Amino acid sequence: MKVTQIKSYSVQGESGRSYFIIRVDTDAGHYGLGEIGIGGWGVAIGHAIEHLSELVVGADPWETERLWQEMFRSGFFPADTVYSCAISAIDIALWDIKGKSVDKPVYKLLGGPVRDKVLSYPHAQGKNVPDFVESAQRHIDEGWKFLRWHQMETSEYGSKQPIVFDPLESVKLSIESFAAVRDAVGWDVGLCFDVHTRLDPAMTIQMCRDIEEFKPFFIEDPARSENPGTYRNLRQKINLPIAAGEQWGSKWPFRQVIEEDLIDYARIDLCIVGGLTEALKITHWAETHYIDIVPHNPLGPVSAAAGVSLCMASTNVGVQEMPKRPGSLDNKLFPRQIEWEDGYSWCADVPGLGVDFDIDVAETAYVKPSHVGVTFQRPDGAFTNW
């Protein structure tokens, strides 16, 4: 069996949500699906996929380790995040092909299931604290057992750019949101809070001290990701579980935080970090330090299936991010998705990842890859992360 072609699809579902999916075909008739992790860099990543296809087309899709090494290292300079996203999509698609070619789900190729289903959390959303409380309560009523929301914003999104983000006001609102959400949903619900790298460490430290009483399951991305050593300072001053890693594009940025036990949860993004091949290594490495994985998954059904496949086959799992209930969105593009019930997600016992992608629908749903997100600035005019 050999890879015959790799095609990229930048598409928009009927919900209005955008996806960047790749399909890898073989001469045996099997095909695999992958998804890139940074849609806003889609143009550059698309070119990287074209470049890497020179290595992959004609290769045996079962040789995922060799192909990963060649894609990451063959340019002499190690892959950057653009190339890691491209490698991720290709690697996930190759694992999908491997499963289909032997009539097995991917999680069985990763070692077999150690659990039947994976505890998952959605995104609570809103423009203000009452909105977040209403969203949180609605999700709990639907059966979710965990919730996630992010550092509170201080201006509404609109046509005016950039949007002003006042960190002092945001800290105040975030503390208020924790008190209100905990009061609304009770103490049996796991609360995950994403600082989203928006605050300076000193502000994060003070805010975390003020929300300790509400017992969050973890605090995510309490600092920017460029310098993993920052977590040494945070570890000494924050008395809450720390989750980090979604912006790291290989195993190497995880080295310090794992080896020095600076985090409690590894936020591996399978569509950025190098696919299943690399994510599996980081997961087993984290296990030696009793660090659980909580895979980052803000994307679509392929990303969700890859993360859940890994969680089903891994013993050190905290909870899986699942922004929307699988099967509730864009079913024309993705007529088959993973399963969900009562706050848990799982991959069905079918070959591959258990996700399908309608090429005919995709051909009519093309959208040009473009920058996503918004531009934030602080009240003094300084740029800040969104």
State residue 370's pLDDT score: 77
Q: Which domain holds residue 20?
A: 3-104
Where is the domain boundary, 80, 104, 128?
Answer: 104
- Coil vs helix vs strand at 334: coil
- 43 and 184 together in one domain: no
Query: What value, to the nearest 5°, has the Cα angle with vertex 217 and ends 211 and 221?
Result: 75
State residue 337's pLDDT score: 98
CATH (domain of 11): 3.30.390.10
Claim: this prediction has a pTM higher than 0.85: yes
Closest CA to 352 of 103, 60, 110, 24: 103
Mark 325-346 as b/e (b = at least 16 C-beta within 10 Å).
bbeebbbebbebbbebeebbbb
Q: In what order do the strands lie in the sheet with 383-384?
A: 163-164, 376-377, 383-384
- pLDDT tens track of the chain, all 386 residues? 999 999 999 999 999 999 999 999 999 999 999 999 999 999 999 999 999 999 999 999 999 999 999 999 998 999 999 999 999 999 999 999 999 999 999 999 999 999 999 999 999 999 899 999 999 999 999 999 999 999 999 988 776 778 899 999 999 999 999 999 999 999 999 999 999 999 999 999 999 999 999 999 999 999 999 999 999 999 999 999 999 999 999 999 999 999 999 999 999 999 999 999 999 999 999 999 999 999 999 999 999 999 999 999 999 999 999 999 999 999 999 999 999 999 999 999 999 999 999 999 999 999 988 776 788 999 999 999 88
- Side-chain half-sphere exposure of 279, counting CA atoms within 13 A: 38
Where is the domain boundary, 57, 82, 104?
Answer: 104
CA–CA distance, 266 with 212 (Å, rounded to integer): 21
- 50 and 96 together in one domain: yes
- 138 and 69 together in one domain: no
CA–CA distance, 152 with 181 (Å, rounded to integer): 13
> Own/partner pairs for 206-209, CB < 8 Å, 24+ apart?
206/171, 207/171, 207/174, 207/175, 208/238, 208/239, 208/240, 209/238, 209/239
Number of structural domains (the chain) is 2
- 24 and 91 together in one domain: yes
- 100 and 130 together in one domain: no
CATH (domain of 243): 3.20.20.120
Residue 130 within any structural domain of the chain: yes
What are φ and ψ of residue 205, in 5° steps? -60, -45
